[in-house]
Amino acid sequence: MSRPNTSIHGQWSSRWAFILAATGSAVGLGNIWKFPYITGENGGGAFVLVYLLCIACIGLPLMMAEIMIGRRGRQNPVNTLKSIIKEENKHAAWRYIAWIGLIAGFIILSYYSVIAGQAIAYMFRSFAGIFEGVTAQGAQSIYTTLTNDPERLLAWHTVFIVCTMTVVARGVQGGLEKLVKFIMPALVAILLILVGFAANTGDYFNQGFNFLFTPDFSKITGQGVLSAMGHAFFTLSLGMGAIMVYGSYLPKSTSILKVSIAISIADTAIALLAGMAIFPLVFANGLEVGAGPGLIFETLPIAFGHMAGGALFGGMFFLLLVFAAWSSAISLIEPAIAWLVENKQISRRRASVTAGFAVWLLGLLTVFSYNIGQGWILFGKTMFELLDYLTANIMLPLGGFFIAIFAGWVMSNNSTQEEFAIKSPIVYHGWLLLIRYVAPAAVIIIFLNAIGILA
């Protein structure tokens, strides 16, 4: 299998289009829904510090590696790896790395969609003024009323999957590019307003800020460190081929180093802003930091319920969150779609319908884990928790580990250097050091530490 010069699925219209699409993939529920609640569950500052270290030392070099591999192969992750393996004369088994990713994306989308569905429900509740003057208890009960009802969760999950697959069916440039251009700035603007609201809680703002940024290492466990690393992968969309497949649509002239830095910074900034908006409210209202996946749904309505124009701002906020989730969801399933189209010779539309239906079906496990299936426990976790743990904490780091080995050891320096076209030898060798040694070693040490072998 030889390497084509362009992808059969088309190309991004410009460097900016790629940055926007990849940022659209990275910024999603991971930043605004997941980051605050897992930070809360893992005691705050120390967790955030480990997460930031993982972004810098593992996430950034791996993002560069994924884009580089994708652009070199210009096909779906499985075929991309195959063609590079052939070029480098290496063992064919390396292509299985791509399979971990295809499957992980599929599973993540199944629960991602259910959470995005909750955000859609919240958008309507907010526009309708339901949060006006709401108390902490009131906000909690609005959330449990929603999640206790399997029919509603199912309906919104269905809506979200249909929206996602409709865009996927239309292809790379179809509309996604235009959407993200508008979403990201608007989302940041509303987040800043929310941080401003939180800043008015006075002392509680400092308490929230300290919770996020003052590390207390006694509060973090081996499992917590694993979650921080897993989240670094999750939030940057790494370890599963999403960024790789986006890279395969990237024009040749773009600097991979620059776009990777831009995406990582934007993603991290949005997560930290979300944390700064949410934790002061948690403390000001005597809520539980470790409340879990419902955290944003139980805190933000309090802010919206007590600010002028809150119904409108709140509705806008959840609308933007849905859009952000949408642009991530597309990238979760794109590797599988590109594979179906290239290798099974079916149309994009048929591929989208088939994959969409399968994901929707798997999503029922998450829908029911909030209500009728609350008692379906495996390894001490509900079905939703299990799928989340399996993908974010195991499959993504494992996929990322192998991609790092592939980029650092399987590919020759000549190839990687040629594809990156980085002028400074120091920067290139810095990348090589991180991708060959630091990133793989960190993943292994954190895994061993989490299962208690090192602690």
* Phi, psi of 381, rounded to the nearest 5 degrees: -130, 150
The token pair that represents 221 in the structure block: 């466990």
Q: Can you tell me which of 147, 248, 299, 328 binds ligand PHE, judged by CB under 6 A?
A: 328
Toward ligand PHE, which CB reaches closer, 328 or 382?
328
Q: Does 240 bind ligand PHE (CB under 6 A)?
A: yes
Toward ligand PHE, which CB reaches closer, 68 or 242?
242
Q: How far apart are CA 320 and CA 185, in angstroms?
A: 10
Q: DSSP code of 381?
A: B
Q: Does 23 bind ligand PHE (CB under 6 A)?
A: no
Which residue's Cβ has the minimum distance to ligand PHE? 30
Q: Which stretch binds ligand PHE (CB under 6 A): 29-37, 47-55, 132-140, 157-165?
A: 29-37
Q: Does 274 bind ligand PHE (CB under 6 A)?
A: no
Give the residues across from 378 on adjacent strands. Answer: 381
Q: How far apart are CA 422 and CA 279, in angstroms?
A: 41
Q: Does 366 bind ligand PHE (CB under 6 A)?
A: no
The neighbour count for residue 442, using CB atoms within 10 Å, is 20
Closest CA to 212 of 33, 48, 34, 55: 48
CB 384 within 8 A of CB 365: yes
- Name the minimum Å distance from CB 307 to ligand PHE: 26
Distances (CA, A) of 124 to 120, 130, 180, 193, 327: 7, 9, 22, 20, 20
Q: Does 30 bind ligand PHE (CB under 6 A)?
A: yes
Toward ligand PHE, which CB reaches closer, 21 or 130?
21
- Name the minimum Å distance from CB 26 to ligand PHE: 5
- Name the minimum Å distance from CB 156 to ligand PHE: 17
Closest CA to 229 of 453, 384, 455, 449: 449
Q: How far apart are CA 110 and CA 107, in angstroms?
A: 5
x/- mask, ligand PHE, residues 195-234, rule CB under 6 A, reads: ---------------------------------------x
The neighbour count for residue 353, using CB atoms within 10 Å, is 15
Q: Report the site for ligand PHE in 105-164 (rule: CB under 6 A).
A: 108
Q: Which stretch binds ligand PHE (CB under 6 A): 74-82, 236-244, 301-309, 313-321?
A: 236-244
**329 burial via Cβ count (<10 Å: 0-12, 13-18, 19+):** buried
Toward ligand PHE, which CB reaches closer, 26 or 341?
26
Q: Can you tell me which of 17, 26, 50, 300 binds ligand PHE, judged by CB under 6 A?
A: 26
Number of residues lying near ligand PHE (CB under 6 A): 15
Interface residues toward ligand PHE, by CB under 6 A: 25-26, 28-31, 108, 234-235, 237, 240, 242, 328, 331-332
